[in-house]
Chains A and B, each alone.
Chain A
Amino acid sequence: MAKRTRQPGFKRNRNPVTWLLRHAQMSLSSLGRLSRSPLTTLMTATVIGIALALPSGLHLIVDNVRQLSSSWDGSASISLFLNQSVSDEQAEQVRATVAKRTDVAESRLISRSAALDEFRRLSGFGQAIELLDHNPLPPVVLVRPAATVQDADAVGRLAQELQAYREIDLAQVDLQWVERLGAITGTIERAVLILAALLAGAVLLIVGNTIRLEIQNRHSEIEIVKLVGGTDAFIRRPFLYEGLWYGLLGGAIALLLVLASLYLLDGPVERLAGLYESGFSLSVLDPLSLFGVLLGGPALGLTGAWLAVGRHLAEIQPE
């Protein structure tokens, strides 16, 4: 039987206090290294900042547009199509009943003959209509909801209540404008998400490439540190911290850019809102984007550095 000899182990430093202390020192010395070439650092951080600011700024705009459209009461109206058997006099009574509701601001009756005239004028089927021996169109009551009925949901609820009236066949909410806007913002939201993913990839590449160059520049230093017994973790650390700092700086710059844009947009938006007698004003950065920028930046920086270090550090071996 072969004799089994155990290798004597190496002493490893596992004191958490010195470990923390070394990390603190390392993070500061990485920051110091970056501050020794301020222009390069600032340029890289700004590129990262712009890449982070773009999606969060767009997200902010979409968010505001959505808020704007949901508080927009001017465009919503409800068309009440009455029963065929309802006469014009009865239709007027229905209109009067509806008009008394507190959640209705205004109502207007389009009588059967008026509806036919309008159809004749607008549809281009005038001749075909002549052939009919009776008017096929029902009377219509147009309703504008009161200001208290603010969003699309409330308008929908009002329409449902109105449709319950015996004389009313169909209550159709005319929300086309708002709905279209909703669809557009939904699409843009999706586009912003895709853009954010692409730009996150760009940040990874920027940081990764910066760190790769840094590793190349410090090639001989890495070699010598390996020679005197520096572990991979020890050699990796300053580069990871550098990536982290780049991400943090980039995040801060992104925040500044977004806030500056908000400030610049605030005046014109207020004027616009004034024109439409809307109490709308730009909302500030929502917590999601805020954390996205302030945590996403460093996380991307660290990841980018990690990728670069993983790829390039092992290639450097002392001879």
Chain B
Amino acid sequence: MIRFDNVAKRYATGHEGLSGVDLHLAPGEMAFITGHSGAGKSTLLKLIGLLERATRGQVWVNGRNLNKLSNRDVPYHRREVGMIFQDHRLLHDRTVFDNIALPLVVSGMGHAEVTRRVRAALDKVGLLKKEKVFPITLSGGEQQRVGIARALVSKPPVLLADEPTGNLDPDLSREIMELFMQFNQVGVTLLVATHDIDLVNRLGKRIISLRNGRIASDSGTDS
């Protein structure tokens, strides 16, 4: 589902965010990416969502070589990759419902289907009663769940999350992670970058550890 072949990302500053990364994630697999600040976790996820392009090597997602996708194709690629961020990235002048509906609206889905899917996504993250409120009135954990609902509403085969629990207390963090485990059980491929090593150790999933832009250890290939 996701494959990196000797991938490097050199930023315009000359700094290499990633160097020589080889990685393979099977369809339906779930993995955590850990590592110190500046290790390259966000860079790796950005390459998958085509927020950045690799400067060396090849990135494959969902059977496509991302190097060969033109800029015109990028939006269509992003519809197959749901992205979740630490800072939620919600639109504060739109209701929770409208925020979650956004990926469906941009793909031109009809109104009735949008409503049905948004309700289903709200149900999954436990926010059914909040569809008409504005995100600013929600707690941090609730806002994060709106962001998650938005990422999964279009049923993308791949979900990426960059420190989704960064600002949350341990209980909320565990809840969010359990939500991800549920998605993974229905076949979604998940890649989650996080600092929360204690939590991920307990979840028993594959852990990829980065150091200075290189893979330092990978429990998926170690064993």
Contacts and interface: CB of A to CB of B under 8 A. Distances in A.
Interface of A: 7-8, 10-13, 18-19, 22, 220-221, 223-232, 234, 317-319
Contact of A229 (B51, B65, B68, B75): B75
The range of chain B's interface size is: 20 to 34
B44 to A, nearest CB: 14
Contacts of A234: 75, 106
B77 A10 contact: yes
Interface string B51-70: 10000000000111100110
A229 B103 contact: yes
Nearest to A224: B89
Contacts of A19: 108
Given A13-B107, A13-B108, A318-B51, A8 B102 contact: no
A300 to B, nearest CB: 29
Interface of B: 46, 49, 51, 62-65, 68-69, 72-73, 75-79, 83, 89-91, 102-103, 106-108, 110, 150, 154
B108 A226 contact: no
Contacts of A229: 75-79, 103, 106-107, 154
Given A13-B107, A234-B106, A228 B78 contact: yes
A18 B106 contact: no
Contact of A7 (B68, B79, B89, B102): B68
A199 to B, nearest CB: 35
Nearest to A15: B108
B108 A224 contact: no
Contacts of B64: 7-8
Nearest to A18: B108
Nearest to A223: B89
11 contacts: A7-B68, A10-B73, A10-B77, A13-B108, A221-B91, A224-B90, A224-B102, A227-B51, A229-B75, A229-B76, A230-B75
A22 B108 contact: yes
Q: Which 10 A-B pairs have the closest CB atoms?
A: A10-B76, A229-B79, A230-B106, A229-B78, A228-B103, A13-B108, A231-B75, A229-B75, A7-B64, A228-B102
A11 B73 CA distance: 10
B110 A231 contact: no
Contacts of A231: 72, 75-76, 106
A10 B62 CA distance: 11
A224 B110 CA distance: 21
Contacts of B90: 224
A225 B106 contact: yes
B90 to A, nearest CB: 8
Contacts of A220: 89, 91
Contacts of A10: 73, 76-77
B63 A8 contact: yes
A312 to B, nearest CB: 16
Given A12-B76, A19-B108, A234-B106, 17 more contacts: A7-B64, A18-B110, A221-B91, A223-B89, A224-B89, A224-B90, A224-B91, A225-B106, A228-B78, A228-B102, A229-B78, A231-B72, A231-B75, A231-B76, A231-B106, A232-B72, A317-B51
Nearest to B64: A7
